A and B are shown apart, each in its own frame.
Chain A
């Protein structure tokens, strides 16, 4: 049996960003490379794993940071579609899909009234919000009715069919909500509809940490605080939530190019009050649990996939390098575009 000498090295389970658009975006300013969003408001039948590009140049960059798996979620509309848990190395999207669908994505409407000059009339905004909330509720109630239809007689409807797993609590509903009012409204809605809720975003969740009854995927580690907020609020929020016994996962916020910053974000959360083990868990086992893949990934335990990496130091320290990585016991190539360019310009001849 081949033996790898690990003296002085650190072995970590795959880091997992639970909410990215990896494989759905290549260059955000080039429209032809964007596949995050379907047209219209109700697209529960849209599947991120179908749109996933296994040849994205952004995947090796994430791999180089120890992120060997990620949640990939759709964007836009009210019900954006269904996410997937994907490995970030493989030949085809079928090879790379760990679990699809993993969750239904809902984008919660803004609950406040915009009173800045030039904004629409308050009454018009309130009506707009009411219509959107009604549309979300109707969708889940239609799906519940669809789940008990007579399949032999009634027509198939792919939209409501896509929501059946969510209304039957087989998969969670990930609601994108940042403000206190949106978070409270989303939690109330999930209680009334008996859904498995996961909050995504959670910018102001720390303000009502004691009220939060569901897991939070916190995406605001790099968000500039508002004028009336402490300068370090973005970094302290995960620790505040954890102390209130909220299950917290960290995410880079749905981007594709910045997923590599995930270990740095966990390091910052650890420096601002989140215990170090919990900070590591927020980017490993907790995202694995939220994506429904904790039986295979997220920790180094007997019987789990050998999906891990060797690093030359503490992965929460930004100076640490990932040296080697394996997915299911298969060693993967950690070369990426940034390393290729670094080599190229490092070896540029001088005149």
Chain B
């Protein structure tokens, strides 16, 4: 019974995870307008867990 419950929780968690949009992604070679300062040409913006993790003229991260 415990095994079944654990399996259910794991599966439901996995389904939920699948339904979520990816919250880790990067936008590369974009002209970023931060608003707090002038525009940054050819910028890469990295998003992790829904937050901006980096912004600037970086090399694109390892991507699929």
Binding site for A on B (CB under 8 A): 20-36, 38-39, 43, 45-47, 49-55, 60-64
Q: Which residues of A contact B22 (CB under 8 A)?
A: 2
How far is B3's CA from A19's CA once the two chains are assembled, in angstroms?
54
A11-B43 contact given A4-B27, A5-B29, A280-B33, CB 8 Å threshold: yes
Which residues of chain A are near B34, meaning CB under 8 Å?
Answer: 13, 299-301
A329 and B54 form a contact (CB under 8 A): no
Whether A10 and B55, one on each chain, are in contact in the complex, defined by CB atoms closer than 8 angstroms, is: no
Which one of B26, B36, B45 lies within 8 Å of A299 (CB-CB)? B36
Count the A-B residue pairs with Cβ separation under 8 angstroms: how many? 117
Which positions 316-330 of chain A face chain B at CB distance < 8 Å?
326, 328-330
Q: Is the CB of A301 within 8 A of B36?
A: yes
Per the bound structure, the CA–CA distance linking A308 and B55 in Å amounts to: 13
Q: Spell out A's residues near B (CB within 8 Å).
A: 1-7, 9-13, 277, 280-281, 284-285, 298-306, 308, 310, 315, 326, 328-331
Q: State the Cβ distance, B3 to closest chain A Cβ, in Å.
A: 34
Taking A1-B63, A13-B34, A300-B35 as contacts, is the C-beta distance between A305 and B27 under 8 angstroms? no
Interchain nearest-CB distance for A317 vs B (Å): 13
Contact in complex: B52, A298 (CB < 8 Å) = no
Residue of B nearest to A326 (CB): B47
CB-based contact B27/A299 at 8 Å: no
Tell me the smallest distance from the CB of B52 to a CB of chain A, in Å. 5
Known: A6-B27, A285-B35. 17 other contacts (CB 8 A): A1-B26, A1-B62, A2-B26, A3-B25, A5-B28, A10-B31, A11-B27, A12-B35, A285-B36, A300-B34, A300-B35, A300-B36, A300-B55, A301-B34, A302-B52, A329-B51, A330-B50
CA distance A281 to B49 in the complex (A): 26
List of A residues within 8 angstroms of B20 by Cβ? 330
In the complex, residue of chain B having the shortest beta-carbon distance to the beta carbon of A13: B35
Residues of the A chain whose Cβ atoms lie less than 8 Å from the Cβ of B27: 3-4, 6, 11, 310
How far is it, in angstroms, between the C-alpha of A344 and the C-alpha of B28 when the chains are bound?
Answer: 34
